[in-house]
Chains A and B, each alone.
Chain A
Amino acid sequence: MNLDVNNWSLTLAFLLVMIALWIGYREKLGIDREIIIGVIRAVIQLFVVGYLLKYIFRVNNVILTLTMLLIIIFNASWNAQKRSNGMSNALTISFIAILTSTGITLGVLILSGAIKLIPSQVIPISGMIASNSMVAIGLCYRSMNTQFRDQRQSVLERLALGGTIRDASIGILRESIKTGMSPTIDSAKTVGIVSLPGMMSGLIFAGVDPVHAIKYQIMVTFMLLSATSVGSVMACYLAYRSFYNERKQLKDLAGDD
C-alpha cells in the first residue's frame, strides 16, 4: 500500500473541487467564493497542523502536548459557544464541559491501556473527542434555546407553582441532552453498515488487518458515547441557569394582557 500521496496526484484530485465549483456556478448557488475560501483554509490549516504535529511528535514533550490539547479544547469551546445565541458564560461553560468530557474519556482510555500516553496517540484521539463534544454541546444549546422559547408558559407555570428552576427546566434539560447525544447514538447504530469511519479506514489504509482495525473503531464508539454524554450533561446543567435571573424568573418576559 502506497501511503504517500504525491503532489501530482493531489493536484489532479483538485479536479474534484472544480466539479463542486462547476455545480455551484451552473446551479447559480452563489457559493463559489465560499468553496474557494473553504479549500484554501483547509489546505493551509492542514499543512500547518501537519508540520506542527510532526514537530510535537518528534520532541515528545509533556508541556507541548498539553498545550496542544488545550488549544484543541479551546477551539472546540469557541465553536460550540457560537451556537449558544448569546447565552451568558457560554464560552466558559463549553470549555469546562469539553475539558471534562475529554479528560474523563482520555483518562479511561489511557488507564485501560487502550492508548498510550504519547503525543501521536493522545492528540488525534483528543481531537476526535473534543470535536464530537463540540457538536453535541452546540446541539444542546440550540435545543435549549428553542425549547425555552416554545415552552415558555409551561416553564412559567412550574415556577408559579413554586417549583425550583431545576423543576421548571428538567423536561427541557432531558430533551436537550438527548438531542446532543442523538447523532453519536445514530452513528453507533450504523457504524460499519453505512460508514467505515475515519479511524478504521485510516488503519485499513495503513495496512492493518481489518479485524484489528475494528477493535479501534469499537473503542472510538465507546469513547464518543462517553464524551458526548458527559459534554451534553455538563453543558446543559451549567447553561440552563442562564435562562433565569437572580430572582429565579425566566428572562425577557414581558407581561401580556
Chain B
Amino acid sequence: MGTEHDHHHDHHSHDDHDHSEPPADVALRVKALETLLTRRGYVAAEALDAVVDMFETKVGPRNGARVVARAWTDPAYRQRLLETPTAAIAEFGFINRQGEHMRVVENTPQVHNVVVCTLCSCYPWPVLGLPPVWYKSSAYRSRVVIEPRAVLAEFGLLLPNDVEVRVWDSTAELRYMVLPERPIGTEGMPEDALTSLVTRDSMIGTGVAHAPGQASTR
C-alpha cells in the first residue's frame, strides 16, 4: 500500500470505478485532459509552462531567506515583520496567492516554533514556494503535533527540555513562517551573505539557520 511519499504508481485496481476502459497511467490521463482543454480553448500550453516555471525557478525559499536576512540586520524591519507581516513581506514584492494573511513567529532561546497543516497542505507559497513532499506527508502531519521533539530529532534538531516547542497548525487562511534565530558568529556579516545561511527548513521550524561556513542544504 502506498503512502503519500510514493510518487511512483503502485496502485493498480482502485481507479476502476465505472469505466469500461482500463485507466491509463496518470501521465497519459493528464496529457489527454490537457490536450482536450487546450483544443477547447480553456488552457494554453505556454501559460501552463509559465506557471510551472514560476514555481520551479522564481517563487521559492530564497524569497523567504531575503526576508529573514533583512529582519536580522534591520531592527525596524524586524518589528514591522512581526507586527504587520503581510505588508512587511510585500515590501519585497512577495505578495500573492497563499500569502494573503502572513504570520511570522520568532524563534528565541526560550521558544522554538514549527509549522504544519494537519488537515491538508497549507504553506506560505510567496516566501517558501511549494512544500516538499515530507511536509505534505501523513507521517509529518500526524506526528509533529503529538511528538514534535521526536520529529525534530529526525531532522537532526535536538532541543533541550527547557525550550518550549510551539507548533502552529495552519487551520485557517493565515500562513505561518518562522523567523529563525540569527546564528552566532555572524556579527557584521552583510545581508546578502546572511541570506545564504537561511534554509527552507529553518523557516518551517524543522531546522535552524546554518552557521557561517556550514554547507547549505535544504
A associates with B: no
Interface residue ranges, A against B (CB under 8 Å)? none
Binding site for A on B (CB under 8 A): none
